[in-house]
Amino acid sequence: MPLFKLFASLYLWLVLAASAYALEPVYSDFFGKAIRGYDPVAYFTQGKPVKGNSDYTYDWNDATWYFSSKQNQDLFTANPDRYSPQYGGYCAWAVSKGYTAKIDPNAWYIHDDKLYLNYSKSVQSTWQQNIPGNIASADLNWPSLLKQ
């Protein structure tokens, strides 16, 4: 097979594979854990990231959410939109720039009673330089990212 045809075939395969990929509504790890198994409610109630417990889980929006207590599980179950991170738990900075990225559960911030996660503490520092502007950009980008 001539080299050109090989590269053309490879390119076509990559294009088709990329178009078959659909963005999940919630960022989760290989095992389907949202926020890498951290408790989303704890960010609000304890003011820090707390690892969830496999005794307290809830399946919502194609991901499994973990909680550190039955009380936190019940709070989330009653109102998941209240406690779930913005942009499906993808990095808020990345979404503001028009793409998605994984997150570090320790790079978090609550603004206007909403949870935002970032790829890393250094990315979070950049994101925090213009929180309102970055949220406005991310809010505009998020719907189109979901459609990809």
Structure confidence by residue, pLDDT tens digits, 7-17: 444 443 443 33
Would you say residue 23 has pLDDT above 90? no
Residue 1 pLDDT greater than 90, yes or no: no
Q: In the prediction, which pLDDT does 22 show?
A: 56
Per-residue model confidence as pLDDT tens digits over 109-140:
999 999 999 999 999 999 999 999 999 999 99
Triad 20, 25, 26: Cα angle to 5°: 120
Beta strands in the chain (DSSP E): 53-60, 63-67, 104-111, 114-118
Query: What CA–CA distance (Å, rounded) separates 120 from 104?
Result: 5
Pairing mode, strands 53-60 and 63-67: antiparallel
Q: End-to-end CA distance of the chain: give it in Å, rounded.
A: 33
Higher pLDDT, 30 or 13: 30
Domain ranges of the chain: 23-83, 85-148
Q: Identify the weakest region by mean pLDDT among 21-30, 35-44, 69-78, 80-89.
A: 21-30
